[in-house]
Chains A and B, each alone.
Chain A
Amino acid sequence: DARVTQTPRHKVTEMGQEVTMRCQPILGHNTVFWYRQTMMQGLELLAYFRNRAPLDDSGMPKDRFSAEMPDATLATLKIQPSEPRDSAVYFCASGLLTGELFFGEGSRLTVL
């Protein structure tokens, strides 16, 4: 069945290292979102793409985070350099303009 696939599911890294998270949206979906979930802040929108074009990345720390969609089957979220405060679960979600949003199972990031 169709699902959003995220890799890696878990990542432990040291402060200062580069982290790349990948997302394969559901085939045919034209909107892709990156959300970050923490106990303190809940679900925060980091970036939003429509038809692969970035529409909103105002929630993303620009100095260290970047989000791209090199093609319709891949979205990436990169953190360079990573910091302990980036520890969180990062969710990718995809959908259509008139439909529900489908979330992946998340990438749990721990920065030591």
Chain B
Amino acid sequence: QQQVKQSPQSLIVQKGGISIINCAYENTAFDYFPWYQQFPGKGPALLIAIRPDVSEKKEGRFTISFNKSAKQFSLHIMDSQPGDSATYFCAASKDSGSRLTFGEGTQLTVNP
């Protein structure tokens, strides 16, 4: 019930394309769903987060779509750039200050 499943494990996209990463969770008590971005040799950094009272949140080229009934959420990166190449982790917690359960990660490569 604490697991968060993430797919795909790796993703290659051409510059300008759309990158889509999906996550699914089981614990209905989760109410905070952040996405973290990690570059090699660095710690994860918060990219964008959503709560289940909205179905979509957009910040620049990054959008989270949330489907509460399906217990799924996804990250869309529009107009993907080579600088977006990184590992992306979805996560979930019972509130924003509690322990985060992370997905397995998606290694995104954006080719120029």
Contact = CB atoms under 8 A, between A and B. Distances in A.
Interface of A: 4, 31, 33, 35, 42-43, 45, 48, 50, 56, 91, 93, 95-106
B96 interface: yes
A4 B43 CA distance: 10
Majority SS at the chain B contact face: loop
Interface string B70-112: 0000000000000000000100000111011111110000000
B60 interface: no
Contacts of B44: 43, 91, 103
Interface of B: 34, 36, 41-46, 49, 89, 95-97, 99-105
Contacts of B43: 4, 91, 93, 103-106
Contacts, number: 53
A97 B97 contact: yes
B42 A31 contact: no
Contacts of B97: 31, 50, 95-99
19 contacts: A35-B102, A42-B89, A42-B105, A43-B89, A43-B102, A45-B99, A45-B101, A48-B99, A50-B97, A91-B43, A93-B43, A97-B95, A97-B97, A99-B96, A99-B97, A101-B100, A102-B45, A103-B44, A106-B43
